[in-house]
Amino acid sequence: MEKIKILAILIFLYGCTQSYPEFGWYSYYEKEPAHMKPYERFGKVYTPIKPEDAITYRERGIASWYGSDFHGLPTSTGELYDMYDYTAAHKTLPLGLYVRVRNLKNGKTSIVRLNDRGPFVEGRIIDLSYASAKELGFAEEGTAPVEIEALGFPIYEGQQLTFQKPASYSVDAYRVQIASFKIKENAIKLALDFQRKSIETKITEFRKKDELFYRVRVGNFKNLEDAERFKEKMRKEGFNQSFVVGD
């Protein structure tokens, strides 16, 4: 009986480490894992962004890094933090997602895998490992203005690492996604509210397995800075999980 229990545990752990070709390793679960559920920190509730909505995510803000005080401690995925690996923490993007981080001061870039939640300091959008901060050239300063762009979830083609559904720096326009509905009428109602305010609105459909989602995106911006400002405006108006997408 004891051998059967051990075998069952090993099978479960093996399944947890497998990669899913479209939306990351946790899509093997029928139910979302704990780190994809809403959570609270310091009186504020954060709702993780669904993998299918995160693919075109872009954001600008301040990056920081965490080092030896956390080295070897568990991250939100359960793995131990390694300050010399290229990983990062984000408050709402799905864990397992790879993002490109660009230092806006010097143009240096670093590709990291999200495996933790944070930073929970006002005004900071991503907490990087020491290795990534060093690659970006701000390990000494501690913080830097950055742009982050979702690349996707990893796929290995032979020995070559690529990303499923990568986002591109070359886009025709930026929009702000403010909501996602399962009921089409709700998406239309919200879109009409913005159209009455003369704000360009777009509803995009996305199918995940047997479910169809209707995503409401507003605005039409030619540069990321304007889109980011509008995103902050939407958050202040109650659309707390708004984020910028490339179109």
- Check whether 127 has a pLDDT greater than 90: yes
* The token pair that represents 239 in the structure block: 């659309």
Q: Which of 4-8, 108-112, 213-217 has the lowest mean pLDDT?
A: 4-8
Q: Mean pLDDT throughout 129-148? A: 95
The C-alpha torsion from 118 through 121 and 126 to 129, rounded to 10°, is -80
Q: What is the pLDDT, as a whole number, of residue 244?
A: 82
User: Percent of the chain scored above 90 by pLDDT?
Assistant: 38
DSSP string, 164-202: ES---S--S-EEEEEEEESSHHHHHHHHHHHHTTT--EE
Write the CB contacts of 219 (distance below 8 Å, at least 6 apart in sequence): 174, 175, 176, 199, 200, 227, 230
Q: How confident is the model at residue 71 (pLDDT cuts 50, 70, 90)?
A: very high
- Residue-level pLDDT at 170: 47
* Alpha carbon distance 144, 41 (integer Å): 23
3-class secondary-structure state, position 232: helix
* pLDDT at res. 64: 97
Q: What is the mean pLDDT of residues 142-151?
A: 94
Lowest mean per-residue pLDDT among 29-43, 56-70, 82-96 = 29-43
Question: How confident is residue 194, by pLDDT bands cut at 50, 70 and 90?
Answer: very high
What are the domain boundaries of the chain? 46-164, 174-246
How confident is the model over 94-113, as a mean pLDDT? 93
215 in Cβ contact with 190 (< 8 Å): no
pTM, 2 dp: 0.62
Local confidence band at 15 (pLDDT 50, 70, 90 cut-offs): very low
Of 3.40.50.2300, 3.40.50.10860, 3.30.70.1070, 3.40.30.10, the CATH number of 174-246 is 3.30.70.1070
Give the per-residue pLDDT at 152.
84
* Fold match between domain 46-164 and domain 174-246: no
How high does pLDDT run on average in the chain?
Answer: 80
pLDDT for res 51: 82
Q: Return the closest-CA partner of residue 133 out of 108, 96, 163, 98.
A: 108
Find out if CATH 2.40.40.10 is the number for domain 46-164. Answer: yes
